[in-house]
Structure 1
């Protein structure tokens, strides 16, 4: 969560990682008020020997908490959507949900790219990270697609064997069984 304000990083972004993690933990605990969080984090900043300039203001903490809340809601919504799709899709849900997730991530990467392009803020590091993200997404999509194809082939093979056994049991010829097997395998 890198918030840039008038060309400089926010005070939260400048905090050491351990303090940011503690801030996130304090914010996630709904029994804490923002004033409690502000007092606790500023106390920790002091204990870590940071400058008074590093201390967070009420409005700065409020902005950051609002951003965290928005991101938290988006993550929760994405989980709910994935759960609903998994319930709807049934046994093949794992592979289908992974493909849906990949598509959602592609959309996020596209939106980030468009936002950065509109703001004329695409830096070489941003471009490299976005490119790596897209490459990883494409590899994940290919792996997921490969798993789907393999699962379908296994299912078709198992189905063909079961049908062949049933067909022979009913007295049909080997040619009939082979014909049915070929139809099943073509459908994969």
Structure 2
């Protein structure tokens, strides 16, 4: 049987009902359980669910699944560590939606590259951390620029409102409105309750 045929055929574990697979994966994450205990509990659950004896899993099948699960867990931990390092380079400034999207895209690309490396260790699937860092630095620069533009717009609106409020107050007093009435209009223009 060729490797391609074996890869396409789902394992017994892949064909288990979702609740049993979930139980299996939770037990694998629990370091206090031995594989022998897990095998016994899972096979008993398979039989209790009314599945055939043939649906039970073997020790080697469990071992392969455990290794695969651990490899994926390791990838996720490495991705999280790399993401933390990239976020540290960005600093703790608040980010806009675009920055969050770019950060998530970087995380996804890093995870995919690591997954390719795990699945094909013989192939040259190097992760270009330098390129990812450069994208993150560019994101930081764009976000800082956007924040400056936003602050400048706020300052312009505030200056315009103050100027308009002063002219309205002056006009209101000239039209015979009391000082309190003119101040009320001015406050409303400036957004003061």
TM beyond 0.5: yes
Secondary structure (helix, strand or coil) at the match of 1:5 reads helix
Listed as ranges, the gaps of 5+ residues in structure 2 are 120-138, 159-193
Contact 1:85 1:97 in 2 (8 A): no
- TM-score normalised per structure 2: 0.55
Structure 1 residues 156 and 24 mapped into 2: Cα distance closer, same or farther (>3 Å)? same
1:103 aligns with 2:106: yes
Deviates more, 1:91-100 or 1:54-63: 91-100
Computed over aligned residues only, the root mean square deviation of the Cα atoms, in angstroms, reads 3.7
Aligned partners of 1:73 and 1:158: how far apart in 2? 42
2:49 corresponds to:
48
- TM-score normalised per structure 1: 0.56
1:157 corresponds to:
150
Which structure's relative contact order is higher, taking Cα pairs within 8 Å and 6+ residues apart?
2
Deviates more, 1:63-72 or 1:88-97: 88-97
- Offset of residue 87 of structure 1: 1.9
2:63 corresponds to:
62
Aligned partners of 1:13 and 1:81: how far apart in 2? 30
Larger radius of gyration between Structure 1 and Structure 2: 2
- Offset of residue 8 of structure 1: 2.1
Contact 2:99 2:143 in 1 (8 A): no
Contact 1:11 1:56 in 2 (8 A): yes
Higher helix share: 1
Deviates more, 1:36-45 or 1:78-87: 78-87
How many residues align structurally?
A: 131
